[in-house]
Amino acid sequence: MTGTMKTRTMQYHHIRIGSINVRTVKCEIKLAESVMQIKELKHDICGIQETHKTGQGTIEFNDSELKGWRVFYDGLKKKAMSGVAIALAPHVKYIDVEHHLVSETIY
């Protein structure tokens, strides 16, 4: 039997996932400080609890230190309590994030 056998190399990608309780990050400066800590820990994806942010939205940082980092957050509509978020490193491109708030403490 003649022919060639194609070999396929498997590529593995390591991803670091973490979680942090921030108590409050109502202002963007405190949120940026938290994302800096996440970056220093070399996490690719990090869940953030107790954000105390109202409503829902996305924040993308454009400063030199945090360029490309994104934070998707969801909290209560009017009260600044509870709230959760997820921070994504710039190289995390292919992730589908939808906002589904089950309760004020579960995202």
Over residues 20-74, the pLDDT tens digits come to 998 888 788 899 999 999 999 999 999 999 898 888 889 999 999 999 999 998 8
Query: What per-residue confidence (pLDDT) applies to 107?
Result: 47
User: Which candidate, 63, 2, 52, places its Cα nearest to that of 30?
Assistant: 52
| CA–CA dist 70, 66 (Å, integer) | 9
pLDDT at 44: 94
Q: If you count them, how many residues does the chain have? A: 107
Interval 70-93 mean pLDDT: 86
pLDDT on residue 46: 95
Dist. CA 2–CA 20, nearest whole Å: 58
Contact between 89 and 67 under an 8 Å Cβ cutoff? The reply is: no
- Give the model's pLDDT for residue 18: 94
Residue 36 φ/ψ, nearest 5 degrees:
-60, -40
